[in-house]
Amino acid sequence: MILVAGSANMDFVVRAAHIPSPGETVLGRDFKTYPGGKGANQAVAAARAGGVPTHMLLALGADAHAEPLEASLREALVKLHLVRVPDQTTGCAFICVSDDAENAITVAPGANLSLQPRHLPPLVGFSHLMLQLETPLATVTAYAQAARRQGVTVVLNPAPAQALPAPLLEAVDILIVNEGELAALAGHQGSIAQCLERIHVPTVVVTLGHHGCCARSHGVFFLQEAFDVTPVDTTGAGDTFCGSLVAALHLGADIPLALRMASAAGALACTRPGAQSSIPQAAEVTAFLAQQPPPNPARITALRYLCGLTGPASPR
Ligand code: RIB
């Protein structure tokens, strides 16, 4: 079983030609709300990957936004450990999605900040604990340490990026970062390989957008080229990647296969609007993978250069 402990937000999304610069007002177009939040998105992604009992620990306020967030998780068959916070608003995210499918997100965390160390349920039966950084850092650290003590694999997606206390990183088994988060954690602007040298977590996965992703697991590097899709909205694609990756590992996939599954799920998520609304079911991922061409050696070589890898080729 997988336990996700983290945020749930109602996403308020407006589409516009471009994302406003500081001080700029942009006249947008259609407006919609979608269930989101990095934690909840990752839980839905793990559950939709199929065959993985997924639980989520979350905190919601007592307002109108709580019910649709709860419903979306339950519909995905995520079992909830729900903390009700009557005097707080449910987490909200204000998102502008541009015509080139990029986004800018501001989160009002509200009830998410009420998750406390004492809320962690017993970890018996859980193989993986997934964490992000939209809940208090002290709570995330306490959860990671409790899981580490009990032999549960700790997966951290340190988003939104912020400085991490050493005791948190020491308790993490699998770190999933994008390039910006990697550089922030490493405190270094060099190549991905150089940044990875500064991070002493057993497995680090780095997502590289339309280039693909790479992983260093117990000293071995793996590369996965991106799948070509026409993006509509990239919101939640990273969370889809995280949830799908952990689900695949839980089901016994090795790192190369888990990267492939997660990349396919993330690519599909980019082709649909919204966060949880965009996360594919396992059968869709399988069908998508069946249509893909064989790996392209030229793109893998380009990815190797991008990562600053000069050593022997990775297994895949
Ligand atoms: O990663 C995407 C998510 O970030 C959105 O769903 C939003 O709620 C914010 O948490």
- Side by side, which strands form the sheet with 31-36? 31-36, 9-16, 91-98, 103-108
User: pLDDT of 86-102, one tens digit each?
Assistant: 999 999 999 999 998 88
Pocket test for ligand 1, best of 32, 34, 92, 95 (most atoms within 8 A of CB): 95
By the 8 A CB rule, do 67 and 86 touch?
no
pLDDT (average), residues 124-138? 98
The answer to whether residue 12 sits within a structural domain is yes
- Distances in Å between the alpha carbon of 284 and those of 239, 256, 291? 17, 19, 11
The answer to whether residue 23 sits within a structural domain is no
Question: Dmax over Cα atoms in the chain, in whole Å?
Answer: 56
C-alpha of residue 8 to centroid of ligand 1, in Å: 8
CATH label of the domain that carries residue 216: 3.40.1190.20
Determine phi and psi for 5, rounding to 5 degrees. Answer: -120, 120
The answer to whether residue 22 sits within a structural domain is no
H or E segment at 270? Answer: helix 255-270
Verify whether ligand 1 is closer than 6 Å to residue 38 (CB atom): yes
Q: Whose CA is nearest to atom 9 of ligand 1?
A: 37
The answer to whether residue 72 sits within a structural domain is yes
* Parent domain of 62: 2-16+31-306
Instruction: Say how far residue 296 (Cα) sits from the centre of its chain.
Output: 26
- Domains identified in the chain, total number: 1
Verify whether ligand 1 is closer than 6 Å to residue 275 (CB atom): yes
Alpha-carbon span 61 to 73, nearest angstrom: 16
The answer to whether residue 26 sits within a structural domain is no
The answer to whether residue 234 sits within a structural domain is yes
Question: Is the predicted pLDDT of residue 315 greater than 50, yes or no?
Answer: no
The answer to whether residue 89 sits within a structural domain is yes
User: pLDDT of 184-208, one tens digit each?
Assistant: 999 888 899 999 999 999 999 999 9
pLDDT (average), residues 148-157? 98
For residue 312, name the pLDDT band (cuts at 50, 70, 90): low
